[in-house]
């Protein structure tokens, strides 16, 4: 199931080296329908989050503040080579900076604290060309809303009295209807990165564009106490699309200036900046999936098998992160663990599982 742990890039290469049935991995992954794979992934996330919440909710405010939950959305395109599935389409890839041929997936994570734990909660694959009569395929915004709603409902059914969610996402998710839904349905706050084309009306009445926010210098800058050299500015404004909003301008040394915004809130700017800093952890999950676990090198020929392929790798990415951060306390990286597993697999000689030592 994980050819990279055996030192191979794809399942085809692994079966050829080991002398196994080349169709074995595809049959195993396709043994369950895609709904079963998704249910297993969701159940794993809920089984992890529920005891953590119950353990922390009775502790002091200081302890709970170190175990806050941050909900993170993002999407990525997995390249698909060989025979096309119905899930394959043409999508814009932020990694390649162009339109590519592949499978577009939307992922919902929960980041515990400052990155103590990263738990995959739900995953969806966008279908480019749905069969039969009806509307267009569901957009990433629609999937994001459904995944958040269903995850919060499932956790509430387990008896968890969750606090208002803090949700972060990149500029692709900066939709006014989605932000209003998070605020009205869950009393939460959705923080997104703004675009240079957005227009805002400041408190004094003059209008500015996103490009002006990142290029002009005459803003009330404050020095960040948590990040040396980083400064920020908090502004209040109105938008014809979003209504009253809170703007956070961020200027980090060595990086391009950018701005964040959410619907008008009283949450301190320093807390919003710490919440935004956790968004990069979902990019780390995608790097683990694509590079360490070789998710792109999938050669299955059915939709159910591909869902199994993705579901198992999401679970494996959580296991790797948990082992590295919690068990080894950051002393062993995920790359080192993969390298050691590769080395030991090659020396195992176990006839019952058709594992033979490689010379």
Run means of pLDDT, 10 residues per run, the chain, 359 residues = 53 57 62 80 92 89 87 86 68 80 88 88 80 60 92 94 92 92 95 94 92 91 80 94 94 90 93 90 81 68 78 83 77 67 54 51
pLDDT at 135: 47
User: Phi/psi class of residue 134: alpha, beta or left (left: φ > 0; alpha: ψ in -120 to 50)?
Assistant: left
- 334-345 and 303-322 are packed helices; what angle lies between their axes, rounded to 10 degrees? 110
Q: Which pLDDT does position 180 carry in this prediction?
A: 95
pLDDT of the residue at 127: 76
> What is the pTM assigned to this prediction?
0.83
pLDDT value for 342: 55
- pLDDT given for residue 71 in this prediction: 95
Return d(Cα 281, Cα 174) in angstroms, integer. Answer: 19
pLDDT of residue 210: 92
Of 186, 273, 172, nearest to 231 by C-alpha is 273
User: What separation in angstroms does the CA of 240 have from each of 148, 189, 199, 212, 218?
Assistant: 26, 19, 8, 17, 24
DSSP assignment of 136-194, as one string? PPPPHHHHHHHHHHHHHHHHHHTT--PPPPEEEE-GGG--HHHHHHHHHHH--EEEEEP
CB 217 within 8 A of CB 229: no
Where exactly are the structural domains of the chain? 171-278
Please report the pLDDT score of residue 11 as a whole number.
Answer: 57
Largest CA distance in the chain: 77
85 CB-contact burial (10 Å; exposed 0-12 / middle 13-18 / buried 19+): middle
DSSP tag of 3: G
Contacts of 94 (CB under 8 A, 6+ apart): 76
Task: Provide φ and ψ at 60, rounded to 5°.
Answer: -70, 165
């Amino acid at each position: 199931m994980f050819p990279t742990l055996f030192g191979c890039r794809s399942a085809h290469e692994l079966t050829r080296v080991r002398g196994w049935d080349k169709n074995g991995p595809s049959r195993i992954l396709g043994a369950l329908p895609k709904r079963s794979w998704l249910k297993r992934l969701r159940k794993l996330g809920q089984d992890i989050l529920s005891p953590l919440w119950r353990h922390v909710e009775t502790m002091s405010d200081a302890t709970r503040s170190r175990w806050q939950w941050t909900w993170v959305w993002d999407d990525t395109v997995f390249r698909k080579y060989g025979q096309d599935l119905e899930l394959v389409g043409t999508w814009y890839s932020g990694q390649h900076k162009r339109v590519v041929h592949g499978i577009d997936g939307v992922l919902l994570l929960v980041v515990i604290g400052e990155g103590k734990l990263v738990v995959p909660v739900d995953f969806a694959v966008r279908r480019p060309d749905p069969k039969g009569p009806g509307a267009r395929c569901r957009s990433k915004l629609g999937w994001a809303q459904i995944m958040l709603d269903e995850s919060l409902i499932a956790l509430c059914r387990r008896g968890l009295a969750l606090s208002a969610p803090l949700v972060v996402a990149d500029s692709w998710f900066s939709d006014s209807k989605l932000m209003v839904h998070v605020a009205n349905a869950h009393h939460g706050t959705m923080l997104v990165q703004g675009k240079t084309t957005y227009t805002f009306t400041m408190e004094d009445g003059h209008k500015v564009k996103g490009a002006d926010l990142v290029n002009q210098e005459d803003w009330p800058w404050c020095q960040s106490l948590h990040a040396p050299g980083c400064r920020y500015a908090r502004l209040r404004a109105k938008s014809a699309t979003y209504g009253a909003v809170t703007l956070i301008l961020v200027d980090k040394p060595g990086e391009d200036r950018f701005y964040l915004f959410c619907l008008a809130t009283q949450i301190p700017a320093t807390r919003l900046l710490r919440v935004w800093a956790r968004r990069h952890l979902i990019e780390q999950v995608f790097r683990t999936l694509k590079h360490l676990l070789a998710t792109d090198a999938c050669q299955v020929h059915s939709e159910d098998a591909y869902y199994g392929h993705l579901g198992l790798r999401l679970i494996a990415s959580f296991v790797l992160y948990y082992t590295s951060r919690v068990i080894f306390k950051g002393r062993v990286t995920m790359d080192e663990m993969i390298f050691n597993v590769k080395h030991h697999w090659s020396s195992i000689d176990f006839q019952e599982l058709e594992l033979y030592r490689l010379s």
